[in-house]
Amino acid sequence: MSPRPPSIRDKRRYLLVQIFPRCLRPDQKDLYLAVQDAVTSLWGDAASARIQMAVVAGTYGYGIIRCLRGTESQLATAISTVTTISGQLACIRSCALSGTIAALQRRGIPPPACLPSPLDAEAAFDGRTFAIQCRDGEKVDLIEKGFKTQELLFLTEQEIEVI
Q: What is the pLDDT at residue 7?
A: 85
- The contacts of residue 118 (CB under 8 Å, 6+ apart) are 23, 25, 133, 134
In angstroms and rounded to an integer, the radius of gyration of the C-alpha atoms of the chain is: 20
- The contacts of residue 126 (CB under 8 Å, 6+ apart) are none
**Domain assignment of residue 126, given as a range:** 122-162
pTM: 0.67
Whether 25 and 96 map to the same domain: the answer is yes
Q: What is the pLDDT at residue 91?
A: 92
Whether 14 and 79 map to the same domain: the answer is yes
- Rounded Cα–Cα distance for residues 130 and 151 (Å): 11
Whether 98 and 141 map to the same domain: the answer is no
Per-residue pLDDT tens listing for the chain (163 residues): 888 888 888 899 999 998 888 777 788 899 999 999 999 999 999 999 999 999 998 777 788 999 999 999 999 999 999 999 988 899 999 989 999 988 887 876 654 444 344 445 677 777 777 777 665 555 666 677 666 666 666 666 676 666 5
Whether 61 and 141 map to the same domain: the answer is no
Strand spans (E) along 21-148:
54-59, 62-68, 84-85, 88-89, 91-98, 122-125, 128-135, 139-144
